[in-house]
């Protein structure tokens, strides 16, 4: 049986909280997450803490241990001396939810804004050919387990919350680098995107992200600096700069604008049921121009979702959209595409 | 990748922890050493550059890297490329190259990390708060010029060639060919300077890092692999070259001033 | 009723955000449906990341003789012919396409010299077949699917100005109840883990992709999420479970030191030269080659060692036998007193391969043990033993569509939560491809089910109220039992009595104790509030774990033979009669009912892929006679 050790764990939520003292038994070969689990099973069953694999593979149990951002499952108790008090706190950079759990949606939002892999147009599945040496660089970044320790430790957002808007953080930089180095990625604007929309320039390469990475990804040396250099190629190379001044265009910007603009589509998604091919949409537009053909055959209307008594349910108050539930069913969007309209026109016999 | 990871959406407050950092290790040692080391070196270098003497050992053609290429009329035999600079005291002998060397080190990705952390405290160490209220990184003037590192690298490459030339010329004695401890030091310094210069992140990028397909450029890939290996030691090389520069300069100063003689192996 | 319930409308609700769930969601979205993905933990943390070896697909990149028939044969062999043949067939046929698809989503597999996807050897597969990325294939798979979903959301953003227009991920959300309109799925009820707020999904189709049940066991590689939620939801909705007695115990999980207990040592360690030794230093696996496999496996250490470099002319080492055989062998060695002090045996690669080789081939394995437990696998052998890893059984589904059988419509299942595909034992590498193949199918058929519907089902208000009450009950019981204690007790019962080797008496004992636990679980309490309260969450999961455990124990008692992931000490042999039977679990009120159901008959051309000698080990006399007739008919034609 192990001996008792001193712990301080931050308990609380967004309204406040403090470090609470615990004395917990520690056995040989245990990690900090084991101790948190022991606390949950004994003194504090409602102690909130994220975890999944307990093997350093999923990146859920990110926390700050003695002030350093770390994975709870990867911090061995044997690395502390026996009389040391171990302080466990939630990630500081993100809003706290409760105890050790923080709201990490910042990272998911930033990831969602980063343009996805663009498959080459001329290759079918199964035709991809890539050399191992070409994929290795990107593979390093794909080791990322999304623990967000790098995002948490990066002082750009940790100490300056106002930068969260402009700065996406190391995790998204390695994603940008991964795609820019992907041998078959069809987009060319990754560098410009990183510089203009992810805030690559905010990074002052103080390397804390690399220091805390549990996967030992060389974030700064292999992703951020190469991306900065690639931006220099485009942006700060005097010849390119001169060229863009003379010809009044920037080689990369075109694509960005294009991807940002959206083509107008009127058909609601759930209503039409299928992704319409372009040809079909054109005929639909033409149909609108000609006026609706009231003599076409239309299917029966989809019935509204009513209860057994034939009325709409009223039991639930809250709703994810503003306003009450639509009597047409919430899957129907307006204006309805003409080919889905199904009332009979007076002229129709 | 969803915005719904959190409920309720309104919660924006971070955990209220009063301690600015909870780190218990001696995180302040690294920035402290950096401040001491860099300050000491800069002090030494400034003093030396404005001494305007004891930079050349005529017998053996030892020229300190701080004065190379020597371009004022104080240079005498040390001048390899003419003496067109005025000999006003404020102008160093190597006035054409020193600014570029300074720029190279100032914009170096390693030194940036070192001085941002130590002198600028932004941040002093990981998970230790930034010493400043606002932060815009390298997005604006003047720090946006850090992106010019590549051009400083080109210049540094040329200067390394000059330093190599100095080291070769130094195999000299009044009798013709000669070889002494000073040569060893000069050679070591030049090798280290090359290692530092080639291990530069910009060099790594130019060598092959910018390529999308290594497999189509096998020679550049090999060069990139070589530079990448050096690059992992960039920090060590940065400090080693500071040391070798200072040692080389001191040794030549001492021999030139006659504090002690050069240890000669041949002639 | 003053409880605030957030209400959502979707076409398809996918419960589970692992490989199968995400693949299903992608497919349903591509079919134009509005899809909700429910993830019990954060998005991208699902248990799929733990899969290390690779995804099996007969692409024939490493060995051109490989094709779907060979893969089918291996799968059936591995599952001891208890597999649903149609699922195994679909799986073998479609796996390559699913893998290639991943590349178009941005996946970066390791490559062969000619630039194709590299394939590696794995236990039970005749040819190198596993597409892999080092030893983190599962992570690659989930990240790729996650990023594909993001890319679809970006498309939607361009089209509708809203990322969530057609796919929305509900992270850290648990579903506690499926809601029915008659026998049709009408929706799902659950809560946000973070806030404890309730939500109600109104959706005509639900895809279950919740993974397995391993948390009911003491030593397990599974995370807290694996509480059998999908199994239990399906049962309560009127669906059936099959093959629940078959649990895979991974033969090589770490047993020492404690911080890594249960963590798997991937089979590639053995594929790359690691061997199993007992405490006497003997390489014992040669004594445990069953007759069925005698022909494919080496008999001497010399031949086995030659295989690593020359697999075409040598038979493979017995360390690469299917998992259950290895697990059983280890169990036997330990029981006979030749185990390590911690109750395992040694897996030694350190003395057989150079440190550089090990680090190159098994990077994350090396780094994991170095960091987690300060064990250097290049220097010392690992102490390993059987660990609960995977449940072969699950929701009984229609092979082509993944639609749940029983009396419920609109319910689909894919991945580990579905049953039948792997028979009595799963081959390594087949789970990742299973996720993709049947995830896609479930998504596709869920979408077409929604299309075929005339009237949308409605959620009965009373059921929602009942679901709220059930969910809040543990919080109200201030003096209720500690959920952690209950979980420990349940794990003890399952681990000790329904573990890897089973006996009649113990199983009966287990059933009695589970009945006692059922009473205690009904009285479980949770302290604290509703906000991110793990005690409360566990209290709600317990009833799922319990009902699934009962199914397992009952089925294990019923099946009087040993086959694959089910080993009965009192019935050590495989029985051809039992091969024709599936044990089907259903819920009758709150009682678990077990029925026998005949296996579907394998199509003749698929049976023809095996030679008679091999079939005679599995099939009954009548089936063999039938095979002979059709063979002579085929010959006379």
Query: Which helix (DSSP H) or strand (DSSP E) does residue A154 occupy?
Result: none
Please tell me the distance from the alpha carbon of residue C133 to that of residue C118, in angstroms, as a whole number: 9
Nearest 10 degrees: Cα torsion C97, C98, C102, C103? -10
Tokens 């696996």 -> residue:
C285
Residue A81 near chain B (CB below 8 Å): no
Say yes or no: A269 contacts chain C, CB-CB below 8 A.
yes
Q: What is the pLDDT of residue A297?
A: 58
Omega of the bond leading into A335 within 30 degrees of 0 (cis): yes
Contact A56 C465 (CB under 8 A): no
A149, A157 Cβ separation under 8 angstroms? no
| pLDDT at A292 > cutoff 70 | no
Whether chain A has a CB inside 8 Å of the CB on B225: the answer is no
Segment C615-625, tens digit of pLDDT: 999 999 999 99
d(CA C507, CA C494): 9
Is the pLDDT assigned to residue C599 strictly greater than 80?
Answer: yes
Q: Locate the chain A residue with the closest alpha carbon to C51.
A: A57
Q: How many CB atoms lie within 10 A of CB C428?
A: 28
Closest of A71, A90, A84 to residue A26, by C-alpha: A84
> Is A15 part of the contact surface with chain B (CB cutoff 8 Å)?
yes
Closest Cα of chain B to A182: distance in Å?
7
The count of CB pairs under 8 A between chains B and C is 31
- Average pLDDT, integer, range B87-111: 93
How remote is the C-alpha of C167 from its chain's centroid? 25
Give domain C251-386's CATH architecture: Alpha-Beta Complex (3.90)
Task: Select the residue of B24, B112, B143 nearest A66 (Cβ to Cβ).
Answer: B24
The answer to whether the beta carbons of residues B146 and B103 sit under 8 Å apart is no
**Token pair of C276 as six digits:** 């199993």
Closest to B90 in 3D by CA, of B49, B40, B42: B49
State whether C106 and A116 contact (CB < 8 Å): yes
Q: Rounded to a whole number, what is the distance in Å from the CA of A19 to chain B's nearest CA?
A: 8
pLDDT of residue C409 exceeding 70, the answer is: yes
Q: Tokens 């930068």, residue?
A: A163
- CB pair distance less than 8 Å for A206 and B209: no
Q: Is the pLDDT confidence value at C387 over 60?
A: yes
| CA nearest neighbour of B72 among B57, B60, B55 | B55
C502, C495 Cβ separation under 8 angstroms = no
> Is C170 labelled a binding residue?
no
Q: Is A60 on the interface with B (CB under 8 A)?
A: no
Residues B219-227: what's their mean pLDDT?
96
In the sheet that holds C581-588, the strands lie side by side as C418-419, C394-396, C241-242, C581-588, C591-598
* Digit-coded pLDDT (tens) for B39-81: 999 999 999 999 998 999 988 999 999 998 999 988 888 888 8
C43 marked as binding residue: yes
> Which amino acids of C are annotated catalytic?
323
- Give residue C589's region: left, alpha or beta (phi > 0; psi -120 to 50): left
Mean pLDDT of C309-338: 85
Could you tell me if B12 lies within 8 Å of chain C, comparing CB atoms? no
- By percentage, how much of chain B surpasses pLDDT 70? 96
- Any binding-site annotation on C45? yes
**Residue C101, marked binder:** no
DSSP assigned state of C351: T
Q: Is the backbone peptide bond immediately before B8 cis, with ω within 30 degrees of 0?
A: yes
Q: Which chains touch B (3 or more CB pairs under 8 A)?
A: A, C
Distance from CA of B238 to the nearest CA of A (A): 15
**Binding site annotation covers C44?**
yes
The owner of tokens 């863009």 is: A244
Write the burial class of residue A256 (CB in 10 Å: 0-12 exposed, 13-18 middle, 19+ buried): middle
Question: Of A175-184, B147-156, C491-500, which range is least confident?
Answer: C491-500
Of the listed ranges A42-46, A165-169, A204-208, the least confidently predicted one is: A42-46
Say if B225 is an interface residue toward chain C (CB within 8 Å). no
C60-77 pLDDT per residue, tens: 999 999 999 999 999 999
Query: Which site among B5, B127, B234 would you substitute to test the A interface, given the most A Cβ atoms closer than 10 Å to its Cβ?
Result: B127
Position A332 confidence tier, pLDDT thresholds 50, 70, 90:
low
Token pair in block for residue B67: 């004065």
May I ask the CATH architecture of the domain A3-100? Answer: Roll (3.10)
Interchain CB contact of A318 with B (< 8 Å): no
Q: Touching check for A125 and chain C: CB below 8 Å?
A: yes
- Per-residue pLDDT averaged across C125-154, rounded? 94
The whole-number pLDDT of residue B197 equals 96
Distance from CA of C230 to the nearest CA of B (A): 21
Can you give the pLDDT at residue A275? Answer: 38
pLDDT at A133: 94
Predicted confidence (pLDDT) at residue A269 exceeds the cutoff of 70: no
Determine the straight-line distance between the first and last CA of chain A, rounded to whole angstroms: 89
pLDDT attached to residue B223: 96
Neighbours of chain A (3+ CB pairs under 8 A): B, C
Q: Looking at per-residue confidence, does A263 or A97 come out higher?
A: A97
| DSSP strand pairing (A86-89 vs A3-13) | parallel
pLDDT at A330: 56
Mean pLDDT of C52-63: 92
Phi, psi of B63 (to 5 degrees): -115, 130
Chain A residue closest in CA terms to B233: A221
User: A202–B136: do the CB atoms touch at under 8 Å?
Assistant: yes
- Average confidence score pLDDT of chain B: 91
C460, C22 Cβ separation under 8 angstroms: no
CB spacing of B15 vs A204 below 8 angstroms: no
Question: How close is the nearest chain B Cα to the Cα of A86, in Å?
Answer: 9
CB contact under 8 A, A208 and B150: no
Please indicate whether, in this complex, the C-beta atoms of B6 and A105 are within 8 angstroms of each other: yes
Q: Any known ligand binding at C435?
A: no
- Cα separation, A294 vs A315, in Å, equals 39
Q: Are strands A3-13 and B179-180 parallel, antiparallel or unpaired?
A: unpaired
Lowest mean pLDDT among A78-92, B6-20, C337-351, C496-510: B6-20
Distance CA C1, CA B130 (A): 51
Of A89, A104, A225, the CB nearest to B17: A89
Query: C625: helix, coil or strand?
Result: helix
Asked if the model's pLDDT at residue A81 lies above 80, the reply is yes
Q: How many CB pairs under 8 A join A and B?
A: 177
Looking at C231-308, which runs of residues are DSSP E strands?
241-242, 247-254, 275-277
User: How far does the CA of residue C292 sit from the closest CA of chain A (Å)?
Assistant: 35
Verify whether the Cβ–Cβ distance A95 to B11 is below 8 Å: yes
Within a 10 A sphere around the Cβ of B25, how many other Cβ atoms?
A: 10
pLDDT higher than 90, residue C375: no
Contact B75, B93 (CB under 8 A): yes
CB pairs under 8 A between A and C: 253
Query: Which chain B residues contact residue A203 at CB under 8 A?
Result: 137-138
Please state, in angstroms and rounded to a whole number, the distance separating the CA atoms of residues A196 and A205. 18
**Residue numbers in B near C172 (CB within 8 A):** 5
Torsion of CA A222, A228, A231, A235, to 10 degrees: -160
CA C609 – CA C461 distance, rounded (Å):
54
Question: CB within 8 A of C256, min separation 6: which ones?
Answer: A29, C340, C341, C342, C344, C383
Q: Do B5 and A235 touch (CB under 8 A)?
A: no
pLDDT in tens, A155-187: 999 999 999 999 999 999 999 999 999 999 999
Closest CA to C576 of C295, C248, C292, C242: C292
| Res B217 pLDDT > 70 | yes
Residues with Cβ within 8 Å of B212's Cβ and at least 6 positions away in sequence, in order, are A134, A180, A181, A183
pLDDT over threshold 80, residue C228: yes
Check pLDDT > 70 for residue A284.
no
The confidence band for C631, taking pLDDT boundaries of 50, 70 and 90, is confident
For residue A297, count other CB atoms closer than 10 A to its CB. 5
pLDDT bucket at A305, cuts 50 / 70 / 90: low
The whole-angstrom separation of Cα A81 and Cα A50 is 26
Q: How far is it, in rounded angstroms, from Cα C311 to Cα A275?
A: 49
Provide the pLDDT for residue C256.
Answer: 78
Whether C49 sits inside 8 A of A108 (CB atoms) is no
Q: B112 pLDDT exceeds 80? A: yes
Of chain A residues 136-175, which have a CB less than 8 A from chain C?
138-139, 142-146
Minimum mean pLDDT among A60-64, C206-210, C303-307, C486-490: which range? Answer: C303-307
Tell me the DSSP string of A218-277.
-IIIIIIHHHHHHHIIIII-HHHHHHHHHHT--TTHHHHHHHHS-----S-HHHH-SPPP
B28: contact with A, CB 8 A cutoff: no
The A residues from 231 to 250 touching C (CB cutoff 8 Å) are none
Q: What is the pLDDT of residue B8?
A: 41
Tokens of C571: 């019935």
* Phi and psi torsions of A150, nearest 5°: -65, -40
Contact assignment for B2 to C43 by CB distance below 8 Å:
yes
Residue of C99, C532, C533, C541 to mutate when probing chain A, most A C-beta within 10 A:
C532
**At C1, is the pLDDT very low, low, confident or very high (cuts 50, 70, 90)?**
very low
Is C270 in contact with C365 (CB distance < 8 Å)?
A: no
Predicted pLDDT at C362: 85
* Domain residue spans of chain C: 1-246+392-600, 251-386, 604-636
8 Å CB contact between A26 and A3? yes
| The pLDDT of residue B218 | 94
pLDDT confidence bin for A290, thresholds 50/70/90: low
Do residue C172 and residue B1 have CB atoms under 8 angstroms apart? Answer: no
> What's the complex ipTM?
0.90
What is the mean pLDDT of the segment spanning C343-368? 87
Burial (CB count <10 Å: 0-12, 13-18, 19+), residue A347: exposed
- Report which listed range, A18-27, B80-89, C45-54, C266-275, is most confident: A18-27
pLDDT at residue A300 is higher than 60: no
What per-residue confidence (pLDDT) applies to A341?
A: 61
d(CA C43, CA A148): 13
> Does B244 score more than 60 pLDDT?
yes
Give mean pLDDT, residues C154-169: 93
Positive or negative, the CA dihedral B112, B115, B120, B126 is: positive
CATH class of the domain defined by C1-246+392-600 = alpha beta
- Give C166: exposed, middle or buried? Use CB within 10 Å, 0-12, 13-18, 19+: buried
Least confident of A283-297, B86-100, C65-79, C391-405: A283-297
Taking residues C538-561, report their average pLDDT: 96
Tokens describing residue C483: 């959920």
Domain ranges of chain A: 3-100, 105-121+131-258
CATH class name, domain A105-121+131-258: mainly alpha
C169, B7: Cβ pair inside 8 Å?
no
Residue of B1, B4, B8 lying closest to C170 (CB–CB): B4
- Please judge whether C164 and B6 are an interchain contact, meaning their C-beta atoms are less than 8 angstroms apart: no
CA distance to partner chain A, nearest, from residue C392 (Å) = 20
Q: Known binder of ligand: residue C229? A: yes
Chain A contact for C180 (CB, 8 A cutoff): no
């Amino acid at each position: 049986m192990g001996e008792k050790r001193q712990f301080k764990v931050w308990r609380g939520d967004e309204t406040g909280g403090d470090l609470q003292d615990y004395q917990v038994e520690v056995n040989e070969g245990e990690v900090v997450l084991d101790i948190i689990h022991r606390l949950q099973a004994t003194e504090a069953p409602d102690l909130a803490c994220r975890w999944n694999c307990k093997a350093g593979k999923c990146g859920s149990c990110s926390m700050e241990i003695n002030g350093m951002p770390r994975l709870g499952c990867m911090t061995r108790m044997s690395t502390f001396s026996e009389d040391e008090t171990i302080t466990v706190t939630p990630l500081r950079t993100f809003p706290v939810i409760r105890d050790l759990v923080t709201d990490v949606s910042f990272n998911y939002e930033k990831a969602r804004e980063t343009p996805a892999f663009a498959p080459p147009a001329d290759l079918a599945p199964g035709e991809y050919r890539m050399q191992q040496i070409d994929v290795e660089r990107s593979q390093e970044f794909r080791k990322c387990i999304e623990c967000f320790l790098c995002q948490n430790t990066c002082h750009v957002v940790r100490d300056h919350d106002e930068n969260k808007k402009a700065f996406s953080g190391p995790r998204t930089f390695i994603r940008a680098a991964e795609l820019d180095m992907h041998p078959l990625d069809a987009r060319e604007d990754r560098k410009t995107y990183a510089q203009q929309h992810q805030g690559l320039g905010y990074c002052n390469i103080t390397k804390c992200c690399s220091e805390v990475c549990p996967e030992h990804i060389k974030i700064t040396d292999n992703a951020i600096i190469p991306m900065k250099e690639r931006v220099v190629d485009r942006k700060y190379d005097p010849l390119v700069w001169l060229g863009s001044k003379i010809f009044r265009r920037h080689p990369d910007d075109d694509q960005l604008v294009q991807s940002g603009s959206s083509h107008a589509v009127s058909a609601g998604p759930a209503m039409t049921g299928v992704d319409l091919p372009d040809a079909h949409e054109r005929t639909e537009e033409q149909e609108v121009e000609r006026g609706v053909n009231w003599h076409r055959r239309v299917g029966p209307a989809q019935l509204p979702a009513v209860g057994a008594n034939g009325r709409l349910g009223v039991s639930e108050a809250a709703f994810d959209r503003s306003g009450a539930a639509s009597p047409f069913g919430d899957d129907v969007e307006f204006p309805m595409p003409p080919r889905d309209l199904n009332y009979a026109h007076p002229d129709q016999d | 990748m969803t915005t719904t990871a959190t409920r309720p959406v309104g919660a924006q407050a971070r955990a209220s922890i009063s301690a600015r950092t909870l780190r218990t290790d001696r995180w302040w040692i690294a920035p402290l050493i950096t401040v001491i080391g860099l300050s000491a070196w800069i002090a030494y270098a400034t003093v030396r550059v404005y001494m305007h003497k004891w930079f050349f050992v005529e017998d053996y053609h030892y020229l300190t890297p701080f004065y190379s290429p020597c371009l004022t009329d104080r240079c005498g035999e040390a001048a390899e490329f003419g003496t067109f600079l005025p000999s006003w005291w404020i102008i160093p002998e190597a006035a054409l190259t020193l600014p570029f060397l300074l720029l190279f080190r100032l914009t170096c990705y390693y030194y940036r990390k070192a001085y941002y952390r130590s002198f600028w405290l932004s941040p002093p160490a990981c998970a230790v708060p930034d010493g400043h209220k606002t932060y815009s990184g390298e997005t604006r003037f003047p720090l946006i010029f850090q992106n010019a590192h590549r051009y400083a690298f080109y210049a540094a490459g040329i200067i390394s060639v000059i330093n190599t030339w100095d080291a070769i010329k130094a195999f000299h004695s009044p009798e013709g060919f000669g070889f002494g401890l000073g040569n060893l030091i000069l050679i070591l310094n030049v090798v280290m300077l090359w290692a530092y210069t080639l291990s530069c992140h910009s060099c790594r990028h130019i060598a092959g890092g910018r390529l999308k397909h290594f497999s189509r450029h096998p020679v550049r890939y090999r060069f990139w692999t070589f530079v990448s290996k050096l690059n992992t030691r960039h920090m060590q090389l940065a400090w080693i070259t500071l040391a070798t520069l200072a040692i080389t300069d001191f040794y030549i100063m001492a021999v030139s001033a006659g504090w002690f003689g050069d240890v000669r192996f041949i002639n | 009723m003053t409880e605030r319930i957030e209400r959502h409308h979707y076409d398809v609700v996918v419960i589970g955000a692992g490989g199968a769930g995400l693949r299903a969601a992608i497919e349903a979205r591509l079919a134009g449906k509005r899809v909700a993905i429910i993830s019990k933990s954060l998005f991208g943390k699902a248990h799929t990341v733990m899969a290390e070896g690779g995804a099996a697909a007969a692409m024939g990149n490493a060995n051109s003789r490989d094709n779907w028939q060979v893969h089918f044969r291996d799968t059936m062999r591995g599952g001891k012919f208890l597999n649903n043949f149609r699922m195994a067939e679909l799986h073998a046929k479609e796996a390559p396409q699913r893998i290639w698809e991943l590349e178009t989503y941005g996946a970066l597999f390791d490559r062969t010299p000619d630039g194709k996807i590299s394939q590696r050897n794995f236990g039970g597969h005749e040819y190198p077949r596993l597409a892999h990325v080092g030893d983190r294939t599962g992570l690659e798979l989930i990240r790729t699917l996650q990023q594909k979903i993001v890319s679809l959301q970006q498309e939607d953003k361009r089209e509708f100005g809203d990322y969530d227009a057609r796919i929305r991920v509900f992270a850290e959300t648990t579903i506690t109840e499926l809601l029915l309109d008659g026998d049709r799925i009408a929706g799902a009820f659950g809560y946000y883990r973070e806030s404890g707020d309730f939500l109600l999904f109104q959706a005509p189709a639900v895809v279950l992709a919740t993974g397995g049940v391993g948390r009911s066991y003491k030593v397990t590689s599974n995370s807290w999420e694996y509480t059998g939620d999908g199994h239990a939801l399906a049962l309560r909705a009127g669906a059936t479970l099959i093959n629940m007695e078959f649990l895979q115990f991974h033969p090589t999980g770490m047993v020492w030191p404690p911080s890594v207990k249960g963590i798997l040592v991937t089979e590639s360690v053995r594929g790359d030269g690691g061997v199993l030794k007992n405490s006497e230093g003997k390489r014992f696996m040669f004594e445990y080659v069953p007759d069925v496999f005698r022909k494919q496996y080496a008999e001497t250490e010399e031949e086995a060692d030659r295989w690593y470099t020359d697999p075409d002319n040598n038979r493979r080492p017995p360390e690469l036998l299917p998992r259950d055989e290895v697990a059983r062998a280890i169990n036997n060695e330990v029981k006979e007193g030749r185990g390590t002090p911690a109750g395992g045996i040694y897996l030694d690669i350190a003395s057989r391969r150079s440190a550089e080789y090990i680090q190159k081939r098994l990077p994350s394995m090396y780094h994991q043990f170095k960091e987690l437990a300060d064990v250097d696998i290049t220097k010392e052998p690992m102490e390993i033993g059987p660990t609960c890893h995977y449940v072969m059984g699950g929701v009984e589904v229609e092979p082509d569509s993944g639609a749940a059988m029983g009396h419920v419509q609109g319910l689909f299942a894919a991945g580990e939560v579905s049953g039948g595909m792997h028979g009595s034992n799963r081959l390594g590498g087949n789970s990742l491809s299973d996720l993709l193949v049947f995830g896609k199918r479930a998504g596709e058929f869920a979408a077409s089910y929604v299309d075929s519907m005339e009237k949308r089902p409605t959620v009965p208000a009373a059921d929602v109220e009942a679901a709220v009450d059930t969910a809040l009950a543990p919080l109200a019981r201030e003096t209720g039992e500690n959920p952690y204690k209950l979980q420990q007790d349940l794990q003890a019962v399952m681990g000790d009595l329904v573990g890897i080797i089973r006996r009649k008496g113990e199983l009966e004992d287990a059933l009695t104790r589970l009945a006692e636990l059922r009473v205690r679980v009904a009285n479980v309490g949770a302290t604290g509030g509703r906000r991110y309260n793990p005690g409360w969450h566990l209290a709600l999961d317990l009833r799922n774990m319990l009902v699934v455990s009962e199914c397992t124990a009952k089925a294990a008692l019923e099946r009087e033979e040993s086959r694959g992931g089910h080993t009965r000490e009192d019935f050590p042999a495989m029985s051809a009669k039992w091969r024709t039977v599936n044990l089907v679990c259903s819920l009758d009120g709150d009682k678990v009912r077990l029925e026998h159901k005949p296996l579907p008959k394998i199509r003749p051309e698929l049976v023809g892929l095996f030679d008679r000698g091999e079939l005679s080990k599995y099939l009954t006399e009548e089936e063999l006679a039938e095979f002979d007739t059709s063979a002579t008919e085929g010959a006379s034609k």
